[in-house]
Structures are given as C-alpha cells and as structure tokens.
Amino acid sequence: MAVKTVICIGMAGSGKTTFVQRLNSHMRTKNSPPYVINLDPAVLKVPYGANIDIRDSIKYKKVMENYNLGPNGAIVTSLNLFSTKIDQVIKLLENKRDKFEHCIVDTPGQIECFVWSASGAIITESFASTFPTVIAYIVDTPRNASPTTFMSNMLYACSILYKTKLPMILVFNKTDVCKADFAKEWMSDFEAFQRALRDDQELNGNSGLGSGYMSSLINSMSLMLEEFYSQLDMVGVSSFTGEGFDDFLEVVNNGKVQEYDQYYKAERDRVLKLKEEKEKQRKEKSLDGLMKDLGISDGGKKKGEADADVVSDVEEGENDGLVLPDEFEDTEREYTFSASDRTQGEINDQSAPDLQSAYQEAADRLRKDVSSETAENIAKYVRQ
C-alpha cells in the first residue's frame, strides 16, 4: 500500500499548522491516523504530535549563532542540514507503509524558504519519487477577498505548480470567517472576476492600481489563468470548525492520486528512461573513441592485422613455444634429487663463502693441467 503524502504550503498566516492539526485530528476520528512530519525549525510549539520533527535534530537558534544568520537564512540552513538525511526519513516512512495510509508534511511559515530553496526541492522530489504526493496550497480566505490580492496568490500558486509539477489542491482556509464562494466563482467565471475588479476600483477610487495600469495587468492575467484554474481542485475548509475536511480527503484519495500516476509518475519514468538512454549513448561513444585511439576496429583487432581467433593461430608452427599441460604427459614429473640436496644447492648469504672456496679449489686443480699463462688468467677471473 502506497502512502499518500500531502505537503502543506502557504503564505505566512494562512493557517498551515492549524490546518495540519485539524486534518490530523479529523483522520484520527476516522481510525486512520496519519504519519506527521514537521519541517518548521523556528516554531516554538506545534498543536499536534509529530512522528518526525526537524527540531529534534536541528536547533534553530544554534544555527543562527554558529553561522551568523538571520531568521530566514537560519531556516534555509536548517532545511539544508535536514535534507542531507532525507533518505533516512523516506526509509522510515517506507517501513511504516503497512500502518499508515497518509503522510502530512508541515512546512515553514516563510514560504520562499521552502519552495525556492534547493533543500525544499530535494525534500519534495524525494517524497514524490517514492510516494503519491499532493501539494495542498493553503489560502487565507478573508485576506483574498480583494481581487488584486487574490490574483497575486493565484500567481504564486501557479509558479509552485509549474515548479513542482505535482498535483495541487487550492485549500481556502478560515471559511468560518469568510465563505470561499466568491473564489470559486472567480475561478470558474472570468466575467465575474472582471465585475469584482471594477467594483473594487469604484469602491477604492483606483487607489493602488496605478491609474489603470495595474487594472489592465490583472485583467490580462485573469484571462491567462483560466487554463491554470481548469487543472486545479478547489476546497473550502475551516480549521476551527473542521468543515470541509471530508471533501479535502475525497479529492486527495480519489482525484489527485490518479492524477499523480497519470501525469507526474508517467513523466518521471519517461525522463528517467531518456536519461538512461543518453547515458548509454555516452558510454558507447566514449568506448568507440577509446577503440579508435588504440587503433582497434569494431572486430576487436588492430587495423591492418590479419584475422586471428586465438593467439595460437598467429604463432602456429613447430617451434611456436607451446608446451603440453601436465595432464597430457605419460609420467608424473618427479625430482631427481632429494630434499636435502635441494636445500644444499640453494645459494644465499651463508652458502656464498663455501661456493667461492669450491671455485678456488677447482681453479687450483685446473692450474696443474694447463699452461701457467692460462691458469693465471683463470685465477684473475676467480679473484674478480
């Protein structure tokens, strides 16, 4: 059973941690507790029990002191340090796949520290390459009642979608304060957003819209994002009351997992196959270059060399130097002298003086049988 992973991302103050707490409680009431991971090293308290907490292994304040960093730099550095052990996290989660059906990942409040950092990409891709993974983009519904703020948030969500290439759910949080019906209408009806933008201009007297320039830009972007909206699922939830979490889990289990298998996993397999083929071509090209440098043709022989299957074909002849193995000889090979004789015949530092005296005696005997001139030459040779 594959563990469905939900990575919660959103602007500061959108309610990510509260959303994770409510989702955790809601799933426990369904007798399906999730595996929870906290990746925010700067949070003081979390309202849920985390199976893996980055604060257990990395001390945020120590990182600030040791590296002379500010708050955001310390968060990025903490994530960098944690990402070096992400393989262990994935292994722990794989070992729990029979016990947990879902994994919830809570990310830092500073969205850019996670989304646009190298460690954030490593963590996200590590989960996505192993488990069906979904991005839950948390939106603060009351703050997005303004068309301009809404459009800015949607552009950020669009950039995250095309960066991660993972299935995304737009989660409009805090619906107990402000209903998300207006957002659903703006996403499905371009003209409704245009009317809301004109009403906002008339109400605020073009304040902050740059005398029509910003209004024209937002109109153009809203028209462009129609295709973006069509690829997203939108859910309104309240982390305070628990409203909408059944709808959220329904979208995760029945919609986004299939989308992950159909698009992300298929694309990833295609890219890996293409990379493997390119690596194979690179190795073949490198081998061909090496064979060319060595002057070896495709047949495995040097250019200009006669065909030869084995070495013996090249050296074939009566005096080719080949000797039959022992197994083809009629008799076994035996020593013709004893072991003591072999020991006495060895030449080493101890036996060298005896050998020299033996040579001297032989020279003396020879001197008696030959002329004095020849004997003198032999004696000079022995002395040398």
70-119 pLDDT, tens digit per residue, is: 999 999 999 999 999 999 999 999 998 899 999 999 999 888 899 999 99
Residue 195: its pLDDT value, please?
87
pLDDT of 196 higher than 50 = yes
Asked if residue 209 has pLDDT above 80, the reply is: no
At 319, the pLDDT band (50, 70, 90 cuts) reads very low
* Residue 270 in tokens: 């295609």
One DSSP character per residue, 95-143 reads HTTTT-SEEEEE--SSHHHHHTSHHHHHHHHHHHTTS-EEEEEEEETGG
Checking if the pLDDT of 34 tops 60, the result is: yes
User: Which tokens sit at 132?
Assistant: 């069906």
Where is average pLDDT lowest: 67-76, 97-106, 133-142, 218-227? Answer: 218-227
Q: Are 186 and 226 in contact (CB under 8 A)?
A: no
Whether the model pTM is above 0.95: no
**Token pair for residue 32?**
């399906």
Higher pLDDT, 254 or 377: 254
**With 70 as the cut, is the pLDDT of residue 287 above it?**
yes
Q: Identify the pLDDT of residue 81.
A: 94
Range in 168-177, 193-202, 357-366 the model is least confident about = 357-366
Q: How far apart are the first and last CA of the chain?
A: 89
Is residue 103 within 8 A of residue 35, CB to CB? The reply is yes
Least confidently predicted of 26-35, 251-260, 348-357: 348-357
Q: Which has more pLDDT, 319 or 168?
A: 168
> 268 falls in which pLDDT band (50, 70, 90)?
confident
State mean pLDDT over 291-316. Answer: 56
Question: How far is 140 from 144, CA to CA, in rounded Å?
Answer: 6
pLDDT at 336 over 50: no
Which token pair is 159? 């950039």
DSSP string, 230-260: HT-EEEE--TTT-TTHHHHHHHIIIIIHHHI
| 292/302 Cα distance (integer angstroms) | 9
- Mean residue pLDDT of the chain comes to 80
Pick the more confident residue, 313 or 51: 51
Residue 309 has pLDDT above 80, yes or no: no
- pLDDT for res 368: 62
> Rounded distance, CA 158 to CA 139, Å?
13
In this prediction, residue 342 has a pLDDT band, given cuts at 50, 70 and 90, of very low
Token pair in block for residue 224 = 């462009």
How far from the centroid of its chain's Cα atoms is residue 86's Cα?
9
Query: Which of 225, 152, 226, 141 minimizes the C-alpha distance to 183?
Result: 141
Long-range contact pairs involving 307-312 (C-beta distance under 8 Å, separation at least 24) = none
- Across the beta sheet with 35-38, the strand order is 52-53, 35-38, 102-106, 4-10, 133-140, 168-173, 233-236
Greatest mean pLDDT among 154-168, 281-295, 347-361: 154-168
Q: β-strands 52-53, 133-140: how paired?
A: unpaired
Nearest to 235 by CA among 227, 243, 226: 243
Greater confidence (190 vs 347) lies with 190
The confidence score (pLDDT) of residue 354 equals 62
For residues 363 and 384, what is the distance between their CA atoms, to the nearest angstrom? 13
> Residue 225: which pLDDT band, with cuts at 50, 70 and 90?
confident
Structure tokens at 334: 């035996």
pLDDT tens track for 7-16: 999 998 999 9
Report d(CA 158, CA 229) in Å as an integer: 9
pLDDT(350) > 60:
no
Under the banding of pLDDT at 50, 70 and 90, the label for residue 382 is: low
Query: Average pLDDT in the 352-380 region?
Result: 61
pLDDT > 90? residue 245: yes
Q: Which helix (H) or strand (E) holds 37?
A: strand 35-38
Looking at residue 325, its pLDDT comes to 46
